[in-house]
Amino acid sequence: MKFEYAERIKRLPPYLFAEIESLINKKKAEGVDLISLSIGDPDLPPPVFVVEALKTEVANLKNHNYSFSHGEAEFRMAVSEWYKKRFNVDLPQDQVVTLLGSKEGIANIARAFINPGDQVLVPDPSYPVYANGSTILCDGTSVPVPLLEKNGFRPDFEAIDAQKAKMLFLNYPNNPTAATVDKKFLKEAVNFAKDNNIILCYDNAYSEVTYDGYTAPSILEIDGATDVAIEFNSLSKTFNVTGDRIGFAAGNKQLVEGLTKIKSQIDSGPPVYTQKAAVKALQAYTSRAAPDFLKNNNQILQERRDILVDTLYKIGYKCEKPKATFYVWVNCNGDSMQFATKLLDVGVAVTPGIGFGKHGEGYARITFTQPKERIIEACNRIADAF
């Protein structure tokens, strides 16, 4: 039997990582000691207190029933308190919805507000879910917004034809470019969304993975943001719990309600025990400052970042030390697939920039989610390759 895929599946662009993935698998099958600097999944463990909280909550037999599509009140309250402590933002609980990781919310928000053919402004390069899982799978039209190095990998709002746009995705600290922004930029973004009557979806998944004293802002810190914006965040990268699938969206009441309506027809929220453990995780914040475990993690990542960037610099690939995320976005002076293939030959896997969009060509994303010794070994191999 052969079944016909729906048109929306057929509209998904070719999966550009497939080629590099099959090369990676081939190397592994050959027994090559491959160092993977390609996946955005932290290698550091979750903090012990979070694992202990999970154990306790799993053991509670009352925590195994359905949750709610909008999540447990206790979790939404913890998110609201976190916004107050971390960003000094007052956020009523009904402006928060629990997510099965921020990816789920990003994918579902378009279902609530995008009609077939509606335009969605999607940064290029960017996390592929904005264009694919969200826009295309909701029958919207993805309109690329170039993120160029000369503009600090930020959109040039004046150059955007926004007349027909209904939604805009933004993500800082940014994957894949690792660019960061300040509140002045966020103010411009909010003004742009307001002037053009556009829903602003702000992805802040890396807000806590920061270095050199940089503190990432929330879009909700900006006056008037709750008129137009919804912010997505998650415990994934902050607490190294990517597999536990727990995140949240917060902001404009109608946007949160729309997302919740969609979710009520699809899922029943993350497990109650995960949400209860997540409450304890978020409560590790007592002020704006990062809790100790996070300071330690970021210190470890920062050291790796320095080793990687210094090596790249020495061999002629000049790139800035990112102030956030665990990515280095390196200008590889040419074909990004060729660059990645060349590194695979010496046993190092990186992600070719073209996989994140047309404007990602000429760059590669190198992740520092490997122990320091492996980063050093990868650096030696990279130096040998060039």
Ligand X SMILES: Cc1ncc(COP(=O)(O)O)c(C=O)c1O
Name the token pair of 115: 């009609």
Closest distance between ligand X and the C-beta of residue 109, in Å? 12
Closest to ligand X by CB, 51 or 346: 51
Which of 36, 210, 234, 369 is the binder for ligand X (CB under 6 A)? Answer: 234
Binders of ligand X in range 200-219 (CB under 6 A): 203, 205
| Contacting residues for 339 by C-beta, under 8 A, at least 6 apart | 332, 350, 352, 364
The H or E element that residue 301 is part of is helix 292-314
Using CB under 6 A, which of the segments 14-22, 100-108, 137-145, 284-292 binds ligand X? Answer: 100-108
Cα atoms in the 13 Å half-sphere on the side-chain side of 305: 22
What gap in Å lies between CA 71 and CA 84, rounded to an integer? 19
Query: In the chain, at which residue ranges do the beta strands (DSSP E only) sit?
Result: 35-36, 96-99, 119-124, 141-146, 165-171, 199-203, 229-234, 247-251, 327-331, 348-349, 351-352, 363-367
Residue 351 binding ligand X, by CB under 6 A = no
Instruction: Find residue 19's DSSP bridge partners.
Output: none
What gap in Å lies between CA 366 and CA 61, rounded to an integer? 43
Closest to ligand X by CB, 196 or 263: 263
Closest distance between ligand X and the C-beta of residue 204, in Å? 9
Binders of ligand X in range 138-177 (CB under 6 A): 171, 175
Site string for ligand X, 243-262 (x = CB under 6 A): ----x---------------
324 contacts 367 by C-beta, under 8 angstroms? no
What length does the chain have? 386
Residue 40 binding ligand X, by CB under 6 A = yes
Using CB under 6 A, which of the segments 95-103, 132-140, 142-150, 297-305 binds ligand X? Answer: 95-103
Closest to ligand X by CB, 98 or 302: 98
Name the token pair of 36: 């993977």
Which of 75, 83, 87, 127 is the binder for ligand X (CB under 6 A)? Answer: 127
Residue 236 binding ligand X, by CB under 6 A = yes
Name the token pair of 199: 């829903």
Closest distance between ligand X and the C-beta of residue 234, in Å? 3
What gap in Å lies between CA 191 and CA 169, rounded to an integer? 14
Using CB under 6 A, which of the segments 150-158, 189-197, 234-242, 302-310 binds ligand X? Answer: 234-242
Q: How many residues interact with ligand X (rule CB under 6 A)?
A: 13
Closest to ligand X by CB, 355 or 379: 355
Name the token pair of 213: 């004293």
Closest distance between ligand X and the C-beta of residue 131, in Å? 13
Nearest to 87 by CA among 240, 234, 275, 216: 216
Residue 102 binding ligand X, by CB under 6 A = yes
Closest to ligand X by CB, 102 or 275: 102
Closest distance between ligand X and the C-beta of residue 104, in Å? 7
Closest distance between ligand X and the C-beta of residue 209, in Å? 11
Which of 47, 71, 101, 291 is the binder for ligand X (CB under 6 A)? Answer: 101
Using CB under 6 A, which of the segments 17-25, 97-105, 138-146, 344-352 binds ligand X? Answer: 97-105
Binders of ligand X in range 253-312 (CB under 6 A): none
What gap in Å lies between CA 305 and CA 147, rounded to an integer? 22
Closest to ligand X by CB, 46 or 101: 101
Q: Give 385: exposed, middle or buried? Use CB within 10 Å, 0-12, 13-18, 19+.
A: middle
Using CB under 6 A, which of the segments 9-17, 99-107, 296-304, 375-383 binds ligand X? Answer: 99-107
Closest to ligand X by CB, 174 or 196: 174
Residue 50 binding ligand X, by CB under 6 A = no
What gap in Å lies between CA 89 and CA 224, rounded to an integer? 12
Query: In 51-188, at which residue ranges do the beta strands (DSSP E only) sit?
Result: 96-99, 119-124, 141-146, 165-171
Instruction: Find residue 247's DSSP bridge partners.
Output: 99, 234
Cα atoms in the 13 Å half-sphere on the side-chain side of 188: 10
Closest to ligand X by CB, 154 or 379: 154
What gap in Å lies between CA 77 and CA 283, rounded to an integer? 11
For binding to ligand X (CB under 6 A), which residues are involved? 40, 101-103, 127, 171, 175, 203, 205, 234, 236, 242, 247
